[in-house]
């Protein structure tokens, strides 16, 4: 994928307005419980500073709904950023950064302004006046047509930051220009939340394994009794349409051929492995069975590229995490030993792969959530589209 990178920009003696994602989780005492998003922004900030640019940082935090709310101020990040960057950080609580002589300025929560989420051009002009170039480094916000995520590109030349660059390169490697065969693993609770995703993937992949609760909907559509399992029976027609589209595109759908059934949704609940036609009316399917897992591992062996979204079973409770853990660990080994390209992201995916102890072995794991899913659905992301093409 071609897009404008920082290496294409003239950075010396400029001020870069950088969209970062500092929407970090906080504990009740105010401390940050996970600083992954902050760490992701540090390389871009350092790159700009080393190239001779000043930096103005824009980020949202929480959902203030267009009104200043002290509890959602970004000021708590100042000491954290000073420690991580080793430079003085100024803080501007208004639109006009008052101390642009400082090397780095953090501007107050972008969503304190009602115009932010509406793409207001007057607000875009005011923020654009803070710098000379715009750097989009928050892929996680790139699916929003907000001022700070895309609108600034109307008034400043736009470039991808290093975190954005890494994300786009890996996604292109997985879906736009992949090594084939390509295997998709899609799990989760409901088909209804992933219709667009499944419909797009079956036109692009060689194999698609469907697991989790959504697999039950496909099984029911094929006439199997899934008992008390989570199942969207009203989407049987949709499931059939997706399977037909897959057949027309030459994409092999991999559904469970055996399952783990239990009577209670609880850790270590009594359970049994059974065939698809053996699920009792009072039972629920909570995981894929061992034969299904073996089939998935065989598919991973055949694949050269793997795209993973969502858990395969009730991974939060043992032993119904077995299929997710075994498949994720095997994929991780294939990455290390056989050169498999494995890209994952969206929803509970990160938690599931961390639970399996396989996250560090994947080629790339996106923490972007909604933006990752919309990319995989084939949708154009406003914060990515502004980076395409040459500057006129």
Residues labelled catalytic: 37, 190, 347, 370
Structure tokens, 78: 């100042």
Taking each helix axis from N to C end, the angle separating 36-50 and 162-171, rounded to the nearest 10 degrees, works out to 120
d(CA 114, CA 10): 33
- Which string of DSSP letters, residue by residue, matches 348-361? THHHHHHHTT-GGG
C-alpha angle with apex 234: 313 to 378, nearest 5 degrees? 65
| Residue 347: C-alpha distances to residues 20, 377, 389 (Å) | 20, 14, 31
d(CA 256, CA 210): 8
d(CA 184, CA 186): 6
**287 Cβ partners below 8 Å, 6+ apart?**
259, 260, 312, 313, 314, 319, 320, 321, 322, 323
């Amino acid at each position: 994928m071609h897009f404008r990178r920082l290496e294409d920009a003239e950075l010396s003696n400029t001020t870069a307005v950088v969209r970062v994602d500092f929407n970090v989780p906080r504990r009740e005492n105010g401390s940050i419980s996970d600083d992954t998003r902050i760490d992701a922004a540090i390389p871009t900030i350092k790159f700009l500073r080393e190239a001779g640019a000043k930096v103005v940082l824009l980020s949202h935090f929480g959902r203030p709904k267009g009104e200043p709310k002290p509890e959602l101020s970004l000021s708590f990040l100042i000491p954290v950023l000073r420690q991580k960057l080793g430079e003085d950080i100024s803080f501007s609580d208004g639109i006009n950064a008052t101390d642009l002589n400082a090397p780095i300025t953090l501007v107050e929560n972008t969503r304190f302004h009602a115009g932010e989420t509406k793409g207001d051009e007057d607000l875009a002009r005011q923020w654009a006046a803070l710098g000379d170039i715009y750097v989009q480094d928050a892929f996680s916000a790139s699916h929003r047509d907000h001022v700070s995520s895309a609108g600034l590109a109307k008034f400043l030349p736009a470039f991808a930051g290093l975190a954005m660059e890494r994300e786009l390169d890996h996604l292109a490697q997985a879906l736009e220009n992949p090594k084939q065969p390509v295997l998709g693993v899609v799990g989760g609770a409901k088909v209804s939340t992933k219709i667009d995703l499944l419909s797009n993937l079956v036109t692009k992949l060689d194999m698609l394994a469907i697991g989790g609760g959504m697999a039950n909907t496909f099984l029911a559509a094929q006439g199997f009794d899934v008992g008390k399992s989570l199942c969207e029976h009203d989407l049987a027609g949709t499931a059939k349409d997706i399977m037909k589209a897959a057949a027309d595109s030459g994409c092999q759908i991999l559904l469970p051929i055996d399952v783990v059934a239990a009577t209670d949704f609880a850790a270590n609940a009594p359970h049994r492995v059974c065939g698809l036609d053996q699920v009792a009316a009072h039972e629920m399917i909570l995981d894929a069975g061992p034969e299904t897992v073996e089939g998935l591992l065989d598919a991973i062996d055949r694949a050269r590229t793997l795209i993973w979204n969502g858990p395969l079973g009730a991974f939060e409770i043992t032993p119904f995490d077995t299929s997710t853990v075994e498949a994720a660990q095997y994929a991780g080994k294939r990455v290390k030993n056989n050169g498999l390209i494995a890209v994952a992201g969206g929803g509970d995916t990160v938690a599931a792969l961390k639970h399996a102890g396989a996250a560090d072995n994947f080629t790339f794991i996106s923490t972007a959530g909604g933006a990752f899913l919309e990319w995989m659905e084939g949708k154009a992301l406003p914060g990515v589209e502004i980076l395409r093409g040459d500057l006129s």
